[in-house]
Amino acid sequence: MRAKYILPVFIALLITLLVLVPLGIKNDSIVNLLILIMIYAMMASSWNILGGFTGQTNLGHAAFFGLGALATRLLWFSGWNIFLSLLAGAFVAVAFAFLIGAPAFKLKGAYFAIGTLALSQALFVTVGNIFPTISSLPAKYLSTYQLTPRYYLILGLTIFVVSACYFLVKSKYGLGMMAVREEEDAAESLGISALKHKLLALVASAFLAGLAGGAFAFYHVGYYPQFPFSPVWTFDSLTMVYIGGTGTIIGPIIGAIFFVALKELLAINLADYHILVFAILFISVVLFLPGGLVEAWAKIRRLFRRKKDVKVTGLSPKV
């Protein structure tokens, strides 16, 4: 099989396997774990558009996730179709992105990161004051609650989010975003509007995070409405992207799988100390693997290819 066909075939087989999981596995804990991984993968992928491909460190990403969850939950409970509720929730997140976009991008570097974190925290506190009680499914929804339809809906949303990231990055707008990331002044000198591309990245990131938030709202039986606004969602997304590899399509997905699996394992065995382990892990990745697991794998492949070439040619490698 030619190399260019390997990845598409692998993706098709993986999607087929995920589709068959609820049919072949009756263990709800495994299905729940996969749902959690997919929600995290959507969050990480959406953060990566602005943070990884455009180079803007957004520490308020949970605001978009929370707005999507809140709007979807309220509209769904009021009688809207769940698909329309999800779409509306995503557009509420986009509206907030438009509202804060231009003023926020006047801030640079650490100031932008701190400013977005402050906005997210303001929403976190405000929502907690307006909706102080737990949001539980009404009896008519609770009596018909089924895990499998939610799994397939979230799987479909995950495929959409990852595909949207891929096609956006491969487009001329994606190239413009990466040009802004590498050198904003140089991009401007070439006629690439930095503000336009940063706003586009913010809006796309907000829309996809809003969808992830809607999926969270549809999946959970009960939670406090302020919980999706927690900064934990932002920092978890950031951690997953850095573990997997910033500025890549597959990196956030690998990071989500690694993050959720390790988190579940450590939470069972180390209880509250798992947070400390993740802090050490994150610092280690930033210091020693700045490109994440994707770059580490690429280095390993280059090393083995170099050794293979040496064996074939009989020449010693260049120092």
In sequence order, what are the residues at sequence separation of 6 or more whose Cβ sits closer than 8 angstroms to the Cβ of residue 152?
A: 19, 22
**Closest CA relative to residue 97, chosen from 52, 56, 68, 64:** 64
Residue 147 · residue 230 · CB < 8 Å: no
Q: In the prediction, which pLDDT does 319 show?
A: 38
Work out the end-to-end distance of the chain between its first and last CA atoms, rounded to an integer number of angstroms: 34
Residue 135 has φ and ψ, to the nearest 5°, of -100, 110
Distance CA 92, CA 98 (A): 10
Q: If you average pLDDT over residues 236-246, what whole number do you get?
A: 90
pLDDT tier, 278 (very low <50, low <70, confident <90, very high otherwise):
low
The least confident of 125-134, 232-241, 243-252, 280-289 is: 280-289
Distance CA 225, CA 296 (A): 39
Q: Enumerate the domain spans of the chain.
A: 24-230
203 has pLDDT over 90: yes
Q: In the prediction, which pLDDT does 272 show?
A: 65
- Chain position carrying tokens 């487009």: 171
Residue 24 · residue 143 · CB < 8 Å: no
Distance CA 318, CA 159 (A): 43
In sequence order, what are the residues at sequence separation of 6 or more whose Cβ sits closer than 8 angstroms to the Cβ of residue 196?
A: 176
**Closest CA relative to residue 208, chosen from 170, 263, 252:** 252
**Closest CA relative to residue 243, chosen from 229, 257, 233, 226:** 257
- Which tokens belong to 307? 């050794």
The secondary structure of 104-116 as a DSSP string is HTTS-THHHHHHH
- Chain position carrying tokens 């995920």: 18
7 has pLDDT over 80: no
Residue 265 has φ and ψ, to the nearest 5°, of -65, -45
pLDDT, tens only, 32-87: 999 999 999 999 999 999 999 999 999 999 999 999 999 999 999 999 999 999 99
293 has pLDDT over 90: no
- Which tokens belong to 136? 């539980």
The CATH architecture of the domain made up of 24-230 is: Orthogonal Bundle (1.10)
Four-residue CA torsion sign, 267, 272, 277, 282: positive
Residue 222 has φ and ψ, to the nearest 5°, of -155, 145
pLDDT, tens only, 155-195: 999 999 999 999 999 999 999 999 999 988 888 988 899 99
Q: In the prediction, which pLDDT does 256 show?
A: 93
127 has pLDDT over 90: yes
**Closest CA relative to residue 225, chosen from 89, 36, 22:** 89
CA dihedral defined by 161, 165, 166, 170, rounded to 10 degrees? 150
Quote helix, strand, coil % in the chain, to nearest 5. 80, 0, 20
Distance CA 82, CA 98 (A): 24
Q: Find the angle CA(35)-CA(41)-CA(46) to the nearest 5 degrees.
A: 135
Residue 136 has φ and ψ, to the nearest 5°, of -115, 155
**Closest CA relative to residue 226, chosen from 218, 235, 217:** 217
Distance CA 233, CA 274 (A): 16
